[in-house]
Amino acid sequence: MNKLFSTVYQNAQMYKEEREQLKLSRKATAFERFAGEFADTHVSYQNINGFILPLQVA
């Protein structure tokens, strides 16, 4: 029983890590698209904890 529980727990942890990596990947893709749309405006953007904020204005 202990071995079964540890296997199930390990699989759950792996699945959780995969979901977190997928979420990070989606956020990064969205940020790249957003930054690309404003590439010609001389405004730099920074992703801080999921919030996209202007970094500096030239």
How far, in Å, CA of 7 to CA of 20, rounded? 20
Q: DSSP code of 39? A: T
The pTM for the full model equals 0.46
Q: How confident is the model at residue 24 (pLDDT cuts 50, 70, 90)?
A: confident
Q: Provide the residue type at 39 as one letter.
A: A
Q: How confident is the model at residue 41 (pLDDT cuts 50, 70, 90)?
A: low
Residue 31 burial (CB count, 10 A): 15
Higher pLDDT, 9 or 40: 9
43-48 and 51-57 strand pairing:
antiparallel
